Amino acid sequence: MARFLHNLSKDARRRIIEVMLSSRSQRSLAEELGITPAAVNKYLTGKTHPSDRVMERILEIASGEEVLEISKIIAEDLAKSMEEYLSWAADRRSLHPASVKALEQAVNRARLLSLAGRMTIT
């Protein structure tokens, strides 16, 4: 399982479902994901959210344009989580230098990937 999927917010999961529905019906998406149309509807209304397994399947079936939009949603959601963590740690004066280094390394990797043309920056 892609670990980052587990950390996605319920809102990000719903927005990803909306991306997938921009090019297919609820019934079609449900069939592709191996779930019921009622489950897709529950995701949209916020009554429940897609499991990590469903999110993995979404990444498998998403088209190129959908992948770009989904990637943007994921990055924004993870960045927001990181900001919340940093605020929490700063308030408690508990931000360890090793944590800062790990975060810097992740950001630097994103920069390198974008420079190498492996990521699209929009």
Distance CA 34, CA 104 (A): 38
Residue 23 clears pLDDT 70, i.e. is over it: yes
Question: Using CA atoms in the order 41, 4, 114, 110, what is the torsion angle rounded to 10 degrees?
Answer: 150
Residue 114 lies in a domain: no
Task: Mention every residue, 6+ apart, whose C-beta is less than 8 A from residue 24.
Answer: 32
DSSP tag of 23: S
Q: Report which of residues 28 and 90 the model is more confident about.
A: 28
Please report, for the domain that includes residue 33, its CATH number: 1.10.260
* Domain membership of residue 62 as a residue range: 3-91
Residue 9 lies in a domain: yes
Taking each helix axis from N to C end, the angle separating 10-21 and 37-45, rounded to the nearest 10 degrees, works out to 130
Distance CA 85, CA 76 (A): 14
Q: In Å, how far are 16, 23, 41, 43, 95 from 70, measured between CA atoms?
A: 6, 13, 19, 16, 30
Look at the chain and report how many structural domains it folds into.
Answer: 1
| pLDDT tens digit sequence for 61-119 | 999 999 999 999 999 999 999 999 999 999 999 988 998 899 999 999 988 988 887 65
Residue 100 lies in a domain: no
Residue 53 lies in a domain: yes
Q: pTM above 0.85?
A: yes
Output the six-digit token pair for 118.
């492996």
Residue 99 lies in a domain: no
Distance from the Cα of residue 61 to its chain's centroid: 15
**Is 45 within 8 Å of 39 (Cβ atoms)?**
no
Residue 111 lies in a domain: no
Residue 98 lies in a domain: no
Taking alpha carbons only, the member of 18, 8, 6, 14 closest to residue 76 is 8
Average pLDDT over residues 3-31: 97
Residue 113 lies in a domain: no
